[in-house]
């Protein structure tokens, strides 16, 4: 696990961009945290590293999924409003997870049986008005590789 403290929205955004630079098609991120913790801000950072303008990226709270074209496609799920995991089956979630893009699932812990075994889990916790504790845990080979690359790069200096 890699644990960091972001002291500002700008740092959270930059962390997203740093993570995004390491991502490859087929990578899945499980992003959790309270409402307003900065989940979508982190996704905006990821998106900019994939050449997606940050203004295009919005929370898919009412649409369930937003798709963005960049260096790789970015699929941004928000499953907060789902009542049953089977609703993920209705939209063909596996095609996104195992397709040609990068998938970020906000609130994925609500339906853990629908998360792949190989992923990066990210939890954002409010510490103050702007401070956030961000914990990243690699699950499986690829998830662990991403965390190790972040640790080795030394670019996460928060």
Burial class (CB within 10 angstroms; exposed 0-12, middle 13-18, buried 19+) of 139: middle
Q: Is 25 domain-assigned?
A: yes
Query: For residue 158, what pLDDT is reported?
Result: 47
**Within a domain: 54:** yes
Q: For residues 132 and 21, give the distance between their C-alpha atoms in angstroms, rounded to a whole number.
A: 21
Q: What is the pTM of this model?
A: 0.93
In contact, 16 and 41? CB cutoff 8 Å: yes
Task: List the domain range (segments joined by +) for residue 83.
Answer: 2-153
Q: Is residue 136 part of a domain?
A: yes
> Is the residue at 158 inside a domain?
no
Return mean pLDDT, the chain. 93
Q: How many domains does the chain have?
A: 1
Q: Is the pLDDT of residue 157 over 80?
A: no
Alpha-carbon distance values, 53 to 31, 50, 59, 62, 79 (Å): 20, 9, 14, 21, 23
pLDDT in tens, 79-122: 998 899 899 999 899 999 999 999 999 999 999 999 999 999 99
In a domain, 88, yes or no: yes
């Amino acid at each position: 696990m890699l644990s960091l403290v972001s002291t500002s929205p700008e740092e959270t955004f930059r962390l997203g961009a740093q993570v995004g630079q390491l991502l490859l098609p087929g990578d899945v991120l499980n992003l959790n945290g309270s409402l307003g913790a900065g989940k979508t801000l982190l996704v905006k950072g990821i998106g900019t590293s994939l050449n997606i303008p940050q203004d295009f990226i919005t929370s898919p709270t009412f649409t369930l999924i937003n798709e963005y074209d960049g260096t790789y496609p970015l699929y941004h799920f928000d499953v907060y409003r789902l009542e049953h995991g089977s609703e993920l089956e209705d939209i063909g979630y596996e095609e996104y997870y195992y397709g040609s893009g990068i998938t970020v699932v906000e609130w994925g812990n609500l339906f853990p049986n629908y998360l792949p075994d190989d992923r990066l889990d990210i939890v954002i916790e409010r510490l103050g008005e702007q401070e956030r504790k961000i914990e990243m845990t690699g699950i499986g080979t690829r998830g662990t590789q991403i965390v190790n690359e972040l640790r080795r790069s030394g670019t996460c200096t928060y």
